[in-house]
Amino acid sequence: MRLRTKFLVFVTIVHLITLVLSYFIFRDNKLLFIASELLILVSILISWQLYKELIRPLQTLMNVVEAIKDKDFTVKFVNTGKYEMDQLINVYNQMIDHLREERTRQEQQHFFLDKLIQTSPTGIIILDYDEKVQQVNPKACELLSIDEKQITGKAIEEIPIPAMQEIRHLKPGEAITVSLNSIHTFKLQKSQFTDRGFQRSFVMIEELTEEILAAEKKAYGKVIRMMAHEVNNTIGPVNSIIESTLKTANLWEEDKNKTLQHALQVAVDRNQNLNIFMRNFADVVRLPEPVKKKIDLHTLIKRVTTLMEVKGGEKEVHFQYNLAEEAIFILADEQQMEQVLINIVKNSIEAIEGKGIIEFTTTNHPSKLIITDTGKGIASEHSEHLFSPFFSTKKDGQGIGLTLVKEILLNHQFEFSLKTIPSAQTVFEIQFYKA
């Protein structure tokens, strides 16, 4: 039963009892009976007035409760002239002003933080209380090549993306550097913040590719230049002495010196190969800026495959073409792109054991070239190092083929990837900018 109902019932019962008692007590005295009735009537009027004054604060309190429940902090009350009522109204108005200011400040902070997250050059993934993805900013989507809708609301272990598997093992406060596709390197860092008294996690993703490539290139460039300098300074004089000796005819007139003559010629040839070896390394460091022009991608593919057909035929490797119907024109340095395709095809041929197929696929929207071979695939322990200088899985490999490919494609700002798909085929994909 409500308080107002209790009050009305109480007042009614009291006045009814008083009325009945006055009748029995004063029924023999009409004047006293009328006076008692008038007194009861005045009491009723006073009770009603008190009821209204008591109910008004309650109604005000109910309105206050409803306003707070609806989070409407614009509702304020004016003073009534009643001391108790005005005190209540003043306290409420002060409280509502404070709440409105606090909410405005929080909304501004939330808007600022949301804007900061959305425009941040660092990828950010925010997790909810259950470690499920709640929000992903555009940079994280770009770095991980994902759509926000694909992962929002899912637990990290449910998302089949390599980066998420790395994040899964991260503890708050930890950071790791990972290479997810042997080309791009990322720093993953997990931290926590307090939201409404509970700990929540977020992950920051920062791409370090450019910084690492620059530092890497500076380091191996210095080594290569030093090696080239020492080799050239040594080989030049040595070859000059040997060649002068070989040209001295009277030294080789006797048959017993023929073996020595042959050995010296082998030494000259070996020195020359060493020179070529060092020049190949130096080419990576001295790679010129691409001279871009409009070239036909299909014509370039046919020219390279014609060049590599003999080498492929030695291992019974055949070329297949799945080219787009329309010609695809790209803006690139023709000689450098030719070298890229030669290196890729050469690696594919060498990766195929016995008979095999190398397929060339092109698409127009977007402009892509996909080279697939039926070789032995890439071992997982090698995938992170494929584009590293001096790294090779071949017995006599120099480790510069894919390094040169990477340098040329990065200089052209073309996106590329190298991976083995479940069918054990190796896929090299290049995405171009059309001319």
Instruction: Give the span between the Cα atoms of 40 and 186, in whole angstroms.
Output: 88
Each residue of 154-195: pLDDT tens digit? 888 888 877 777 788 888 888 887 776 556 677 888 888 877
pLDDT at 58: 66
Q: Which CATH class is domain 293-431?
A: alpha beta
Q: Who's near 272: CB < 8 A, 6+ residues apart? A: 239
The residue-averaged pLDDT of 235-260 equals 73
pLDDT at 362: 94
The residue-averaged pLDDT of 41-45 equals 84
- Residue scoring higher pLDDT (431 or 164): 431
The C-alpha angle 335, 294, 430, rounded to 5 degrees, equals: 65
E-only strand ranges, 65-223: 123-127, 133-136, 175-179, 185-195, 198-207
Most confident of the following: 177-186, 253-262, 350-359: 350-359
Each residue of 81-92: pLDDT tens digit? 777 677 777 887
Each residue of 220-242: pLDDT tens digit? 666 666 666 666 777 777 777 77
Q: What is the radius of gyration, based on Cα positions, of the chain?
A: 43
Domain 120-207 has CATH 1.10.3720.10: no
CA distances from 60 to 8, 11, 305, 375, 413 (A): 19, 23, 88, 82, 68
**pLDDT at residue 393 above 60?**
no
According to DSSP, the residues that pair with 361 across neighbouring strands are: 322, 370
Q: Who's near 307: CB < 8 A, 6+ residues apart? A: 342
370, 361 Cβ separation under 8 angstroms: yes
What is the model's pTM? Answer: 0.50
User: Does the CA dihedral 398-287-403-424 come out positive or negative?
Assistant: negative
